[in-house]
Amino acid sequence: AKSDNNMQRMESMLKEKDEQITSFRQELNKSESAYKDIIAQRGEDNKSRLKLEKEKTKLQKYLRLLKGERINRDRKLQENETRVDILEKENASERERRSDSEKEIRKLSDLLIQHKSRAKAAFDGLCSESIVYFPTNNEWKSQV
């Protein structure tokens, strides 16, 4: 009976150890599965990260390109504004010269009208005082 009792106790301990081993195997399988999931997730995360880095690189290149275009556009705009300023100054200068020329023409025109009226008055005065004689070409030549 003692050996049966020892046998039963040994079987009970073996059964308990088998249950513990089964339980540990289940835990180990769960851990391995979780580990594989984590590794797979990391792989997916790495793929996603690589995709995101590639997209980030593309966007950075595009942003640099846009910045370059904006800098060129700003530079051209500045050049055009400078040209416009220069042309406006030249145009103002030309208008001023034209205005000065028109004033000079008006002054000379007024002066010409004054001289013309004085000459006419002088000629009319001469004509009224005496008869003016103008020699013909032949007479003029014979006097010379």
**pTM, full prediction:** 0.41
Q: Is the pLDDT of residue 47 over 80?
A: yes
Quick check: 40 and 46 in contact, CB under 8 A? Answer: no
Q: Is the pLDDT of residue 141 over 70?
A: no
Percent of the chain predicted with pLDDT > 70: 87
Q: Which of 7-16, 79-88, 130-139 has the highest mean pLDDT?
A: 79-88
pLDDT band, residue 91 (cuts 50/70/90): very high
Q: Among 39-48, 72-81, 117-126, whose mean pLDDT is lowest?
A: 117-126
Quote the distance between the C-alpha of residue 125 and its chain's center.
77
DSSP assignment of 36-88 equals HHHHHHHHHHHHHHHHHHHHHHHHHHHHHHHHHHHHHHHHHHHHHHHHHHHHH
Per-residue pLDDT of 100-127, as tens digits, reads 999 999 999 999 999 998 888 887 777 6
**Cα dihedral 33→34→39→40 (10° resolution):** 70
What is the structure's pLDDT at 30?
93
Q: What value does the CA radius of gyration of the chain take, rounded to a whole number of Å?
A: 58
